[in-house]
Structure 1
Amino acid sequence: TDNQFPTFNWVTSRGAIARRDYTPLNSPANGEWTNAYARIRKCNLVIEKASTIPGISEEQTRQLVGQAKFMRAYWFFHLSNFFGGVPLVDKALDRTSEADIFYPRSTYEQTVQFIQNDLTEAADLLPVTWPGNSYGRATKGAALAMKSELELYAGKWADCVATSNQIFALNKYSLATNYGNMFVPIGESGPEVIFEVQFDGANRGHSAEIFLSPRTDPPSGIAAGWGHVMPTQNLVDEYEFTDGAPGNDPAHANDPYTGRDQRFYASILYNGSDWRGGKVWTYYDPAVNYNSSFFDLNHSHQGTLTGYYFRKYIDESLTPSEANYYNRPINGTNAILYRLGEIFLNYAEAKNELGQFDDDALQKINALRARGGVPALPGGLSQTVLRDRIRRERRVELAFEGKRYWDLIRWRTAEQVLNGTLKAMKITKKPDGSWNYERVNAFGGERKFEAPRDYLFPIPQTAIDRNEKLSGQQNPGW
């Protein structure tokens, strides 16, 4: 998106998705279709067979079916984001019967209604809290959180408000005091988290730490990372100053990193950031070598292409040795899918779109801003102004949490935002030791988006070729 982009050409989103030069035969989303339906089949089997498990109680059956409906809804929601309306396979198909396995494509509205129904049933079947150490299981709150997001994406504003209020009424979740700690092990499963994917770093983990950490900085060797994905200047400009000024305010041009929203410091490493007992430098110096974290104007030594690195999701408490890829190839930081801060934003946006923005919605937005240390929004703003402010708030609050692309799609602003070249901050040191800051085009930051075609990915051609009921059902423009 316009929030970040990867360093290397072999990263899919740096290539085909950025250029939009794929077809229904080789679309990077083709695997999403195949994988989702494989998982939907497993969910359908559980829903159909749960009650036949020997010795299972009625309560256990309800909980098992509730979890399966939650996961089935998750995968259909995933498909709807990529493709719009999809075949609603609601049973485990008999692979030996050709007549049984081919479903027609449902409309987007029908798909949304199906997912809503699954999540309503899941919320009724699932507990508010699981006993003991059953971390990672879907709960009533998780089902309602996904439903709130679905309804927001579908423009079902009144439904989104009602579902969000159901979450608030559970009285289970509260905002975390420290924003940054939510995304590292010290803050896992905290009071704000509604649903997160569990990792333990041993049997199940990921490589986000090494992929996102800044490249080793020659003066002190503190980073021990690859720096494959970098925040953009486009995003940095959205973080306000604590005096209420916008992030690109000319009055702060000579000192752009002092007095910013606390969410900026928790999410992004910039030139001179304190990091693991040293500093991260991202200024432009053509003399530095391949292993530098410094700004890489022409992608010659694989330093940052934007002047920034990730801080969010990286455990700063690790020593350089512990963070080194060869000592720790995978890490176990959980991945938050839903949290209360997002529900606050869903609720406020839906209320505003209904023309019903009130003190309650304003208080929820301002609670997030207060945590960031920026001034509260005043009352009495117009619907248009509020729409812009809520969207900006959503961008910085949920940065790097997998929401931005789908927000641009549902707002129908992608052709404005995802066309052109992303921005970087080129920093050079003056003879007197002070810094010069210049916004430049990021190397490799070119983006293309063709409306209306690119608002949906193409249905895989192989799926259409196999299923005659999908003939003539390809998404427009593909």
Structure 2
Amino acid sequence: MKKIILIAIAFASFTSCQQSLTEEPKSFLSPEQFFKSDQDAIQGVNGAYYWLVGSYPNRLFQQELWSVLDENCDVIRSPHPGPLNLTAGSPGSAPVMYSGLYKGIYAANLVIDKVTKSPGISPETKKRVLGEAKFLRALFYYYLTGLFGDAVLYTESNYANIDASKTFPRTPVADIRKQMIADLTEAAAGLPATYTIADKGRATSGAALALLTKVYLWTKDFPKAEETALKIKTAGNYILLDDYASVFSASNEFNKESIFEIDFQTDLLNSYQHAFYSPNNTVGVEPFKSKPWYRSYVPYHTFANSFDPKDKRKAAIIATGYNGQAFAPDATNKVDVWFGPKWWRLDAGERNSGLDIYLLRYADVLLMLAEAANENGHNDVAFGALNEVRKRAGLDDAAGLSQDQFRNEIYQERAWELCGEGHRRFDLARWGKYPQAAVTASATEEPELSASYKPYYVLLPIPATEVQKNPALGQNTGY
């Protein structure tokens, strides 16, 4: 995706000047002067991909979005964060994500609108580009609705009506998910299964189906979720790699397990995630003690201790030393266990690594298939999919579990398999376990944080600045 994103940076003038959906965009190049050819269409959709990363202050997967998707849950701890006092006037990084996600939605709608109407774009390119844009629109809404709930629904029919948008109310999340299902169904039908090397990182039919499976799980349409996940499995385009750690190797990007990832590149399109998950300089072991890490995530002890002794994944996820040297415990912050090499880039600077971010991969699909099949009473499918993931981890097959016991197994398995990949908050929320799971996990190690959680923190506040511009937005309960 590096090529796609870098080209998109130049093209993003269509949306980068749009400070909010209620302000008129001032594009350097009018869309009416563009979208005349296949190349225009491809550059246009590149501009929508760009917002997956964003740029300061509207960063998404460069920093703000991946962090909020895993922070303040039941796996990752940030030592001594203090209470989590979210308000509409003090919403943390909510404004950054709210604005950035809508910029992505605007860019996708622009492409859908103009490419659909353009007579100069070939049918083949039009089909693919519209599939990409609809996948991206659904992806941006997946994160927007998961974090904020009801939202203004912009499509190609109303996105450009700037004056009217100043009074648009929010659409119920259930209706937005219907639009997402329609978009992803069309995208899955119109997108290719694979690309050539030059186009690695673009959305595929498999990516559309994987995201569609997630939406069906949110809506508790378990028959559709199972059916959709099975389509991915039976297509045979993805496999579980033999070694869990190799999935995340710097030399193994866009591997056969990856369904959709963001391709970061040192010095070109740099990622910050490695610096959060690497041990900080207090551990006293090189190369970490020479790094100026500005922040550090560590695992909750309950999570670190929850791994089966035979689980091969633990060596990639949990670390207590490096290169034969034990890390020095941090008595001040009560830290004696850190996150492991799954995220490390030892040659990287503080804010400059090429660590890719995997948004969708095949192990996630298998666990979603197992979850949906269990809810449908299809035990053979459920246990078969779950045990594929467990076998790779070196674990014995799960067997003889009741439906409720199987649910708990999925709850644990998704934490171990997908740690730090941006799924935990949404998993807990759709299971009805957020924020209580975070309260329980933090009670011993971060009691001040634990006591500060409110039940309504399942959603973030709509930023007060947005409500001031458009009172019709209202506010989420509790804020």
Task: Give the TM interval when normalised to the shorter protein.
Answer: 0.7 to 0.9
Give the deviation of 1:53 after TM superposition: 5.7
Could you tell me which residue of structure 1 aligns to residue 365 of structure 2?
A: 343
> Would you say the 8 A contact 2:188–2:206 is kept in 1?
yes
Aligned-residue identity in percent: 29
CA distance in 1, matches of 2:451, 2:201: 36
Could you tell me which residue of structure 1 aligns to residue 36 of structure 2?
A: none
Residue 469 of structure 2 aligns to which amino acid in structure 1?
R
> Would you say the 8 A contact 1:104–1:469 is kept in 2?
yes
Could you tell me which residue of structure 2 aligns to residue 364 of structure 1?
A: 385
**Structure 2: runs of 5 or more not aligned:** 1-72
Of the candidates 318, 322, 335, which is equivalent to residue 268 of structure 1? Answer: 318
Residue 352 of structure 1 aligns to which amino acid in structure 2?
N
Give the deviation of 1:447 after TM superposition: 5.6
Pick closer, same or farther for the CA change 1:306–1:87 going to 2, 3 Å. Answer: farther
CA distance in 1, matches of 2:390, 2:267: 37
> Would you say the 8 A contact 2:106–2:159 is kept in 1?
no
CA RMSD of aligned residues (A): 2.5
Could you tell me which residue of structure 1 aligns to residue 5 of structure 2?
A: none
What does residue range 311-330 of structure 1 map to in structure 2 within 5 Å?
311-315=341-345, 318=346, 322-323=347-348, 325=349, 329-330=351-352
Give the deviation of 1:357 after TM superposition: 3.2
Give the deviation of 1:219 after TM superposition: 6.4
1:5 aligns with 2:5: no
Of the candidates 22, 30, 36, which is equivalent to residue 86 of structure 2? Answer: 22
Give the deviation of 1:455 after TM superposition: 1.8
1:232 aligns with 2:300: yes
> Would you say the 8 A contact 2:74–2:441 is kept in 1?
no
Question: Any idea what SS the aligned residue of 1:405 has?
Answer: helix
Could you tell me which residue of structure 1 aligns to residue 331 of structure 2?
A: 297
TM-score normalised over the length of structure 1 = 0.78
Could you tell me which residue of structure 1 aligns to residue 375 of structure 2?
A: 353
What does residue range 242-257 of structure 1 map to in structure 2 within 5 Å?
242=310
Q: Deviations over 1:67-116 (max 9, x none)?
A: 11111101111111012121111137576752355322211211111111
> Would you say the 8 A contact 1:222–1:278 is kept in 2?
no
What does residue range 425-440 of structure 1 map to in structure 2 within 5 Å?
none
CA distance in 1, matches of 2:97, 2:252: 31
Question: Any idea what SS the aligned residue of 2:407 has?
Answer: helix
> Would you say the 8 A contact 1:421–1:447 is kept in 2?
no
Largest Rg, 1 or 2: 1
Of the candidates 445, 464, 469, which is equivalent to residue 461 of structure 1? Answer: 464
Of the candidates 243, 247, 251, which is equivalent to residue 182 of structure 1? Answer: 247
Q: Deviations over 1:369-395 (max 9, x none)?
A: 1111121111x3211111111211111
1:441 aligns with 2:445: yes
> Would you say the 8 A contact 1:2–1:418 is kept in 2?
yes
Residue 315 of structure 2 aligns to which amino acid in structure 1?
Y
> Would you say the 8 A contact 1:421–1:445 is kept in 2?
no
Question: Any idea what SS the aligned residue of 1:199 has?
Answer: coil
Give the deviation of 1:238 after TM superposition: 2.2
CA distance in 1, matches of 2:269, 2:165: 36
1:413 aligns with 2:413: no
1:122 aligns with 2:187: yes
Give the deviation of 1:411 after TM superposition: 1.3
Give the deviation of 1:365 after TM superposition: 0.9
Pick closer, same or farther for the CA change 1:377–1:199 going to 2, 3 Å. Answer: same
Of the candidates 383, 402, 414, which is equivalent to residue 382 of structure 1? Answer: 402
1:307 aligns with 2:366: no
Which range moves more in the overlay, 29-38 or 159-168?
A: 29-38
Could you tell me which residue of structure 2 aligns to residue 57 of structure 1?
A: 122
Could you tell me which residue of structure 2 aligns to residue 75 of structure 1?
A: 140
Residue 371 of structure 2 aligns to which amino acid in structure 1?
E
| Number of aligned positions between the proteins | 403
Question: Any idea what SS the aligned residue of 1:377 has?
Answer: coil
Greater fraction of residues in strand: 1
> Would you say the 8 A contact 1:200–1:332 is kept in 2?
yes
